Amino acid sequence: MALGEQILMSVEWPAVTNARANGDGGLDIVSLVLPSVLTSILGLGWSKDNLRTADKCYVPGLYPNGTVKWPCGSINKGEGTSGQFKMQTQQTILAALSMGPVGISDQLSDRPEVPTADITSNVPLVMSTCDAAGNLLQPSFPLAPIERMIVGGAGFGDCTGAEHRAYTYGCGGHVWATYSSVEVSNNGNISMGIWFTSIGFAAGRGQLPTNMTVYEEDFSALYDQEALPASLLNDIPRGAFQGNGDKFPSGVEYVLWESDFLNQKDCSTIEPAIFNGNFTMPLPKGDLTSQFNLAPLYGGIALLGELSKVTAVSPQRFEAVAPDGESLSVKLRGKPAENVTLAYVVAFHGGLSCKTAEVSVGADGSATAELK
């Protein structure tokens, strides 16, 4: 909701970590696109107002005198004033990957003064954003639309024609991407591993595309591998890529898999594949959202992460990975006694096999899993 110049000025204060990027209710997705680009390039997370996960509006909004101001389902300026309860899954994904606050704002089932009033939040949706202690599990970079989407190229729609509205995107095809970085220790050499997440859906004006081909350069443009990690702590960012920014680092293969965090409980519905440079992402309408992840292969094993979380591999959960022969050691953290289920892919002997492993967080809030 801030003006562009206010967001730019805000980075002078280290306490400012995010900016609100669209209107009341958070459902105006077309107005979210360009502000999210501005906040992302400044290193700020963005937020999309409150997050509603409940199945409906339970309590109409009232004037101070007790009369109804906003009946359930009413709309004001395109936004649901008392809860236009739709797109809950998509809104949860956007909130979790934005690196902004995840503001759960579901109503009680009745007025607060009613003793039987109960919480209406969708618990699986809420828990998909955090660990058992309530710590948010988010990526390392704010979710951002890929470059081709911003410029309206390669089938994304006409963002510059006569139907264009200033300050909005609104062309129909949405593909957003982000990444998580986790330390990789390999024979004493420390580097940063990159796990990518991408989402896709259709929303906006005109003829909406039903799918989009996503390429390696759509992901690699998010970061500059040649500058990671910095050789010295006092290196000054120069505002330009040191590398080309269009390729993954040489020698690293990625496993592509489709995430369905609300329904996946094990490997039975996961069909991993070696990423060959591109894939086709369906762009569903409404609340449905495609989510595809890329996990790097280390020593023949790729950590997919937690199937029940929006951010399957989050730096808040995973501290480091270390390949050792035909196994992968994974250090993670969480609430003491929390049980964490990890999914991973083994790529030995000419095929890909998805497996799961259970690990219990220790009393010190840490655990190590040996994946093989």
Q: Are residues 303 and 160 part of one domain?
A: yes
In a domain, 139, yes or no: no
How confident is the model at residue 84, as a pLDDT? 57
Highest mean pLDDT among 95-104, 123-132, 237-246: 123-132
In a domain, 135, yes or no: no
Q: Are residues 265 and 172 part of one domain?
A: yes
In a domain, 235, yes or no: yes
pTM: 0.88
Is the model's pLDDT at 237 over the cut of 60?
no
Least confident of 188-202, 239-253, 352-366: 239-253
Q: What CA–CA distance (Å, rounded) separates 141 from 22? A: 19
Please tell me which residue, 344 or 19, carries the higher pLDDT value: 344
57 close to 71: Cβ distance less than 8 angstroms: no
Q: Are residues 160 and 118 part of one domain?
A: no
Q: Are residues 313 and 262 part of one domain?
A: yes
Least confident of 155-159, 239-243, 303-307: 239-243
Q: Quick one: how many helices (H) and strands (E) in the chain?
A: 6, 20
If one counts the domains in the chain, the total is 2
Both structure tokens of 240: 């330009």
In a domain, 132, yes or no: no
Q: What's the Cα-to-Cα distance from 154 to each of 205, 206, 215, 218, rounded to whole Å? A: 17, 16, 11, 12
How confident is the model at residue 231, as a pLDDT? 46
Three-class DSSP category at 367: strand
In a domain, 134, yes or no: no
351 close to 339: Cβ distance less than 8 angstroms: no
φ, ψ of residue 217 to 5 degrees: the values are -70, -20
Burial string for 224-233 (b: 16+ CB within 10 Å, else e) reads ebebeeeeee
In a domain, 84, yes or no: yes
First vs last C-alpha separation in the chain: 48
Taking only the tens place, the pLDDT of each residue in 40-82 is 888 888 988 788 898 888 888 888 888 988 888 777 655 555 5
Pick from 78, 79, 9: nearest CA to 38: 9
Q: Are residues 96 and 41 part of one domain?
A: yes
Is the model's pLDDT at 236 over the cut of 60?
no
Both structure tokens of 2: 């801030």
Which stretches of 31-162 are assigned E, i.e. beta strand? Answer: 45-47, 61-62, 68-70, 75-76, 79-80, 144-145
197 close to 178: Cβ distance less than 8 angstroms: yes
Q: Are residues 307 and 271 part of one domain?
A: yes
Q: Are residues 239 and 198 part of one domain?
A: yes
In a domain, 111, yes or no: yes
Q: What CA–CA distance (Å, rounded) separates 93 from 182? A: 21
Taking only the tens place, the pLDDT of each residue in 170-220 is 677 899 999 999 999 888 888 889 999 999 998 876 677 889 999 998 998
Pick from 54, 168, 145: nearest CA to 97: 145
Q: Are residues 362 and 330 part of one domain?
A: yes
Least confident of 139-143, 220-224, 292-296, 336-340: 220-224
Is the model's pLDDT at 227 over the cut of 80?
no
What residue has token string 């200033």? Answer: 166
Q: Are residues 157 and 265 part of one domain?
A: yes
Q: Are residues 154 and 109 part of one domain?
A: no
Tally the C-alpha atoms within 13 A of residue 242's C-alpha that lie toward its C-beta: 12
Average pLDDT of the residues of the chain: 84
Q: Is 207 exposed, middle or buried (0-12, 13-18, 19+ CB in 10 A)?
A: exposed
Please tell me which residue, 24 or 165, carries the higher pLDDT value: 24
Q: What's the Cα-to-Cα distance from 353 to each of 252, 260, 274, 344, rounded to whole Å? A: 18, 18, 12, 8
What residue has token string 């970590």? Answer: 17
Taking only the tens place, the pLDDT of each residue in 321-330 is 999 888 999 9
Q: What CA–CA distance (Å, rounded) separates 140 from 245? A: 17
Burial string for 235-268 (b: 16+ CB within 10 Å, else e) reads eeeeeeeeeebeebeeeebbbbbbbebeebeebe
In a domain, 133, yes or no: no
Q: Are residues 164 and 115 part of one domain?
A: no
Taking only the tens place, the pLDDT of each residue in 103-155 is 888 889 998 889 999 999 999 999 999 999 999 999 999 999 998 888 766 66
Is the model's pLDDT at 230 over the cut of 50?
no
DSSP state of 29: G
Q: Are residues 158 and 255 part of one domain?
A: yes
| Domain that includes residue 35, residue range | 4-59+69-127
